[in-house]
Amino acid sequence: MKFFVDTADVTEIKKLNDIGIVDGVTTNPTIVAKSGRPIREVLAEICEIVDGPVSGEAVAIDAEGMVREGLWLSKIADNLTVKVPVTTEGVKATKILSEKGVAVNVTACFSAGQALLAAKAGATFISPFVGRLDDVGANGMQLIQDIRLIYDNFAFETEILTASVRGIGHLLEAARLGADVATVPPTILWQLFEHPMTDLVVQKFLQDWEKTGQKLGD
């Protein structure tokens, strides 16, 4: 499973990328606005830090505008992926952009039908919002399972990018269901490292080793 970081905080991106676990980054207009920086500047810096796909979102509501903005965004860096919503106009823009060789992340997906449309239009990624579905009493992870089944049935190459991940539970369940990618806030990725038993065992190993009086490398 690929890990994308859902942030425009370059400090956090650098820390996680230095560990070697970051496969890409996703942003949206809200995230970019929080950075307080011009979109071209922040996306360009992130694209230099991370080798994998970096999603930047078009904000037009019509296909023509999405294509125009998408082409502009795609020129920022070779690893820039254009995000568009899974609306009628967004699917239309996805078809046009994908045929021009632009990677497209179709976002705000809440149904398997929408995911099927995105795949048929040539989307690189489909982003189902599992947490937001859970918020309204639906089963977000069931959507991941449904999309996985449909995509496998027809050998679609579109990757399932689990989004709106609220915790480790969502992340691990997405992995169990075969989602290709999960995009998560930095806090959730850091939590994956944590377990009290790990700390206790490492501490015990170090204490026992110290008693031997030995040093490695001598």
Tell me whether residue 95 is one of the annotated catalytic residues: no
Query: According to the model, what pLDDT value does residue 144 have?
Result: 98
pTM for the model stands at 0.95
Q: How many CB atoms lie within 10 A of CB 4?
A: 28
75, 83, 95, 204: which one is catalytic?
83
Query: According to the model, what pLDDT value does residue 218 have?
Result: 67
Query: According to the model, what pLDDT value does residue 195 have?
Result: 95
* Three-class DSSP category at 16: helix
Rounded to an integer, what distance in angstroms lies between the CA atom of residue 192 and that of residue 80? 27
* Predicted confidence pLDDT, tens digits, the chain (218 residues): 999 999 999 999 999 999 999 999 999 999 999 999 999 999 999 999 999 999 999 999 999 999 999 999 999 999 999 999 999 999 999 999 999 999 999 999 999 999 999 999 999 999 999 999 999 999 999 999 999 999 999 999 999 999 999 999 999 999 999 999 999 999 999 999 999 999 999 999 999 999 999 999 86
Query: According to the model, what pLDDT value does residue 183 have?
Result: 98
* Angle ∠(52,184,116) on CA atoms, nearest 5: 75
Domains of the chain: 2-212 (3.20.20.70)
